[in-house]
């Protein structure tokens, strides 16, 4: 039995995928253990129990994580909830906490980061050639964290967060942060127009994103699946050993982790180590194919990104309208037919974070 076969997943059900990610999540929890122990007592009051929620009064609103260390800690710890660990992103990135105005509790998380350079299904949807992609990729961001935390996840809160990712709020926030700034890699001024938000679903097709409509438009469109390459399956300290090996070899790749040295530091390190050890690059193929989704922020996003249009015809998705639409379309009907959210106790976060002994 070859090494490639041993590292391939067997089965593609959501249960199987979550099971495969267990070791990766354990690594992440171990890395964050000291931080969580320090900060959890200071931020735990932000986590809601089901009894804290009155569906008729739920009013989500976004807050950008800036220089507030409490907000930064809350985002970092809350992102550990997912069974499939979320990406920390790289390059340009910003994080948004969503709170419920009715009770001050944490509703969900949204983080946008620079997209990967090569993503075949996205590039085919845009109609990109390599040179055009180099020039226009700055107008794309990837939602690397997107979802609601319990118990708001039981009330389809993730649908609101998904709409927020493609809203006027996010587009304007992006322009404020990056408009008129010089690109680190391209060394040129950027006009701050965000034309496309992408995301990948860790569990294949997403029930949250599929048929998510605002007005008459599908906000996120499925365009296919990734090829199934990555590094998360190199868990239990394997990556650190690989990096230590490159350091021993005095290979420069082990130190090239700063933005501008290329995408995905971990992938580059593992690829380089495999080359040195004369091992096949197929060892990076874990076989889990993520669903790829694109959310155009304008009617002519693809034409703009492939160079066929110079102006964007924006979709208008004001935050106030999104809140009202989400409440009436998803929140209230779900709360009326399913009260399982009431069973969640905020103290469960100690178990989720493996802090039962705190």
Rounded to a whole number, what is the largest CA-CA distance in the chain?
Answer: 62
> In the chain, at which residue ranges do the beta strands (DSSP E only) sit?
60-64, 93-100, 106-113, 140-148, 181-182, 189-190, 196-201, 213-214, 217-218, 221-225, 291-296
**Rounded distance between C-alpha atoms, residue 49 and residue 47, angstroms:** 7
Q: Please identify which residue in the block is written with the tokens 């490639």.
A: 4
pTM of the model: 0.81
> What pLDDT was estimated at residue 9?
45
Q: Which residue has the tokens 């009617």?
A: 299
Q: Which of 207, 212, 221, 230 is nearest to 299 (CA)?
A: 221
Cα angle 244, 249, 251 (rounded to 5 degrees) comes to 90
pLDDT, tens digit, for every residue of 68-92?
999 999 999 999 998 766 777 677 8
What's the helix, strand, coil split of the chain in %, to 5? 45, 15, 40
In this structure, what token pair is assigned to residue 69? 């260390």
Q: Token pair 């118990």 is at which residue?
A: 151
User: For residue 2, is pLDDT > 50?
Assistant: no
Answer whether residue 234 shows pLDDT above 60: no
CB atoms within 10 A of CB 118: 11
Top-confidence residue, 84 or 152: 152
Between CA 157 and CA 322 the distance in angstroms is 12
Does position 11 have pLDDT exceeding 60, yes or no? no
Q: What percent of the chain has pLDDT over 90?
A: 59
What is the β-pairing status of strands 213-214 and 217-218? antiparallel
As a whole number, the mean pLDDT across the chain is 85
Q: What is the mean pLDDT of residues 193-210?
A: 87
Token pair listed for 242? 């690989």
Quick check: 232 pLDDT over 70?
Answer: no
Which whole number is the average pLDDT over 186-191?
74
- 269-325 pLDDT, tens digit each: 877 887 788 776 666 555 566 789 999 999 999 999 999 999 999 999 999 999 999
How many CB atoms within 10 Å of residue 324?
A: 11
3 has a pLDDT exceeding 50:
no
Check residue 23 and give its pLDDT. Answer: 62
Using the Cα atoms of residue 269, residue 202, residue 127 and residue 190 in order, give the sign of their dihedral.
negative
Under the banding of pLDDT at 50, 70 and 90, the label for residue 207 is confident
SS3 20: helix
Q: CA of 180: how far to CAs of 161, 173, 197, 294, 309, in Å?
A: 27, 13, 20, 25, 21
The residue with greater pLDDT, 268 or 108, is: 108
| CA atoms in the 13 A half-sphere facing the CB of 130 | 0
Beta-strand relationship, 291-296 and 106-113: unpaired
Checking if the pLDDT of 180 tops 90, the result is no
Question: In this predicted structure, which of 54-58, 135-139, 279-283 has the lowest mean pLDDT?
Answer: 279-283
pLDDT band at 65; cut points 50, 70, 90:
very high
Q: DSSP letters along 145-204, please?
A: EEEE-TTGGGGTHHHHHHHHHTSHHHHHHHHHHHTTEEPTTT-SEE-----EEEEEETTS
Q: What's the confidence (pLDDT) of residue 259?
A: 44
User: For 174-178, 211-215, 290-294, 354-358, which range has the lowest pLDDT when averaged over its residues?
Assistant: 354-358
């Amino acid at each position: 039995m070859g090494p490639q076969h041993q590292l391939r997943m067997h089965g593609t059900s959501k249960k199987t995928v979550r099971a495969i990610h267990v070791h990766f999540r354990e690594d992440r929890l171990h890395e964050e253990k000291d931080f969580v122990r320090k900060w959890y007592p200071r931020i735990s009051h932000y986590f809601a129990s089901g009894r804290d929620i009155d569906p008729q009064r739920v009013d989500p609103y976004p807050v950008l994580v800036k220089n507030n260390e409490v907000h930064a800690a809350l985002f970092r710890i809350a992102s550990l909830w997912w069974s499939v660990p979320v990406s920390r992103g790289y390059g340009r990135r910003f994080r948004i906490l969503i709170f419920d105005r009715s009770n001050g509790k944490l509703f969900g998380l949204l983080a946008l980061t620079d997209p990967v350079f090569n993503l075949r299904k996205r590039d085919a949807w845009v109609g990109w050639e390599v040179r055009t992609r180099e020039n226009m990729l700055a107008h794309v961001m990837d939602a690397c964290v997107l979802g609601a935390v319990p118990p708001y996840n039981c009330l389809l809160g993730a649908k609101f967060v998904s709409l927020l990712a493609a809203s006027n709020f996010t587009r304007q926030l992006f322009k404020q942060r990056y408009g008129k700034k010089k690109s680190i890699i391209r060394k040129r001024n950027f006009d701050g127009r965000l034309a496309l938000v992408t995301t990948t679903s860790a569990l294949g097709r997403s029930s949250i994103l599929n048929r998510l409509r605002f007005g008459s438009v599908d906000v996120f469109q499925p365009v296919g699946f990734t090829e199934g390459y990555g590094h998360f399956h190199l868990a239990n300290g394997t990556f650190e050993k690989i990096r230590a090996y490159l350091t021993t070899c005095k290979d420069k790749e082990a130190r090239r982790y700063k933005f501008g040295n290329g995408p995905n530091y971990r992938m580059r390190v593992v690829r380089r180590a495999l080359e040195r050890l004369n091992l096949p690059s197929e060892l990076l193929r874990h076989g889990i194919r993520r669903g790829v989704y694109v959310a155009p922020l304008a009617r002519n996003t693809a034409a703009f990104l492939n160079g066929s249009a110079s102006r964007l015809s924006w979709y208008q998705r004001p935050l106030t309208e999104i809140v009202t639409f989400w409440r009436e379309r998803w929140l209230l009907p779900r709360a009326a037919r399913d009260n399982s959210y009431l069973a969640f106790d905020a103290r469960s976060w100690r178990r989720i974070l493996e802090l039962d002994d705190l």
